[in-house]
Chain A
Amino acid sequence: MTNFPVAKIRADFPILEQKVRNKPLVYLDNAATCQKPNRVIDSISHLYRHDYANVHRGVHTLSVRSTDQFEAARIKVKEFINAASDKEIIFVKGTTEAINLVAQTFGRTHIKAGDEIVISGMEHHSNIVPWQMLCQQTGAVLKVAPINHKGELIYDGFEKLLNEKTKLVSIVHMSNALGTVNPVKKIIAAAHGRGIPVLLDGAQAIPHMPVDVQELDCDFYVFSGHKLYGPSGIGVLYGKQALLEAMPPYQGGGDMIRKVTFEETEYNVLPYKFEAGTPSIADVIGLGAAIDYLNEVGMDAIAAYEAELLDYATEQARQIKGLRIIGEAEHKGAILSFVLDRIHPHDIGTMLDSLGIAVRAGHHCAMPVMDFFEVPATARASFAMYNTKEEIDVLMQGIKSLIEVFG
Chain B
Amino acid sequence: MFDDLRDLYQEVIFDHNRNPRNFRVIENADRQVEGFNPLCGDRLTLFLRMDGDVIVDASFQGSGCAISTASVSLMTEIIKGKTEQEAEELFKQFHEMTTGKGEQASLAAVGKLAVLAGVREYPARVKCATLAWHTLDAALKNEQKSISTE
A-side interface residues toward B, CB under 8 Å?
A: 21-22, 343-347, 350-351, 354-355, 361-363, 370, 375-377, 401-402, 405-407
Contacts of A355 in B (CB 8 A): 1-2
A to B contact number (C-beta, < 8 Å): 63
Give the CA-CA distance A354 to B69 in the complex, in Å: 21
Instruction: Tell me which residues across on chain B come within 8 A of A402, comparing CB atoms.
Output: 2
CB pair B40 A362 closer than 8 Å: yes
Residues of B within 8 A of A405 (CB): 1-2, 9, 14
Q: Knowing A402-B2, A406-B66, A407-B14 touch, does A350 contact B40 (C-beta < 8 A)?
A: no
Given known contacts A344-B65, A344-B66, A346-B128, is B2 in contact with A370 (CB within 8 Å)?
Answer: no
* Contacts of B9-42 to chain A: CB distance below 8 A: 9, 14, 17-18, 39-42
B78 is an interface residue with CB less than 8 A from chain A: no
Closest to B13 in A: A347
B4 CB within 8 Å of chain A: yes
From 109 to 150 in chain B, residues with beta carbon under 8 angstroms from any chain A beta carbon are: 122, 124-125, 128
Q: A363-B40, A406-B66 are in contact. List 15 more A-B contacts (CB 8 A).
A: A344-B66, A347-B9, A347-B65, A347-B67, A350-B124, A354-B4, A354-B5, A355-B2, A362-B39, A362-B40, A377-B40, A401-B1, A405-B9, A406-B17, A407-B14
Question: Are A361 and B40 closer than 8 Å at their CB atoms?
Answer: yes
> Chain B: which residue is nearest A22 at the CB level?
B4
The reply to whether the CB of B8 lies closer than 8 angstroms to some CB of chain A is yes
Chain A residues within 8 Å of B18, by CB: 407
How far is A370 from B39 in the complex, measured between Cα atoms in Å? 13
Interface residues of chain B: helix, strand, loop or mixed (majority): mixed
Q: B-side interface residues toward A, CB under 8 Å?
A: 1-2, 4-5, 8-9, 14, 17-18, 39-43, 63-67, 69, 122, 124-125, 128
A344 touches B4 (CB 8 A): no
Report how far A401 CA is from B1 CA in the complex, Å.
8
With A370-B41, A376-B42 as contacts: A344 and B64 at CB distance below 8 Å: yes
**What residues of B have a CB within 8 angstroms of the CB of A350 in the complex?**
5, 8, 122, 124-125
Closest Cβ neighbor of A343 among chain B residues: B66
Please, could you name 26 A-B residue pairs with CB atoms under 8 Å apart, sorted by A? Answer: A343-B66, A344-B42, A344-B64, A346-B40, A346-B42, A346-B65, A347-B9, A347-B66, A350-B8, A350-B122, A351-B2, A351-B9, A354-B2, A354-B4, A355-B1, A361-B40, A362-B41, A376-B40, A376-B43, A376-B63, A376-B64, A377-B40, A401-B2, A405-B14, A406-B17, A407-B18
- Complex contacts, B41 vs chain A, CB 8 Å: 362-363, 370, 375-377
In Å, the complex CA distance between A43 and B124 comes to: 33
Q: How far is the CB of B108 from chain A (nearest CB, A)?
A: 27
Residues on the A chain within 8 Å of B69, using CB = 344
In the A-B complex, the 6 residue pairs with the smallest Cβ-Cβ separation, listed nearest first, are A376-B41, A344-B65, A346-B65, A377-B41, A354-B4, A346-B40
Q: A363-B41, A370-B41, A376-B43 are in contact. Are A351 and B5 (CB under 8 A)?
A: yes
CB distance from A198 to the nearest CB of B (A): 31
Structural contact, B4 and A21, CB atoms closer than 8 A: yes
How far does the alpha carbon of A377 sit from the alpha carbon of B1 in the complex, in Å?
A: 25
**A107–B85 alpha-carbon span in the complex (Å):** 55
Most buried by A among B2, B64, B69, B128: B2
Which residues of chain B have C-beta atoms less than 8 A from A362's C-beta? 39-41
Does the CB pair B1–A344 fall under 8 Å?
Answer: no
Once A350-B122, A376-B63, A407-B18 are accepted as A-B contacts, the answer to whether A345 and B1 lie under 8 Å apart by CB is no
Whole-angstrom distance between the alpha carbons of A21 and B121 in the complex? 13
In angstroms, how far is the closest chain A Cβ from the Cβ of B78?
Answer: 22
Residues of A within 8 Å of B128, CB to CB, are 346
- The minimal Cβ–Cβ distance linking A20 to chain B, given in whole angstroms, is 11
Determine the distance from Cα of A370 to Cα of B42 in the docked complex, in whole angstroms.
13
Name A398's closest neighbour in chain B (CB-CB): B1
One of B1, B14, B42, B122 near A406 (C-beta < 8 A): B14
Residues on B with C-beta less than 8 A from A344 are 40, 42, 63-66, 69
A83 to B42, CA, bound (A): 44
B29 to chain A, nearest CB (A): 24
In the complex formed, the residue of B with least CB distance to A348 is B65
- In the complex formed, the residue of B with least CB distance to A397 is B1
Say how far A351's CB is from chain B's closest CB, in angstroms. 6
- B8 contacts which chain A residues (CB < 8 A)? 350
A54, B69: Cα distance in complex, Å: 54
**Highest count of chain B CB atoms <10 Å: which of A350, A401, A405, A406:** A350
Complex: A402 Cα to B9 Cα, angstroms? 11
Q: How far is the CA of A1 from the CA of B23 in the complex (A)?
A: 50
Distance of A22 Cα from B18 Cα, bound (Å) = 30
CA distance A353 to B128 in the complex (A): 17
A370 to B41, CA, bound (A): 9
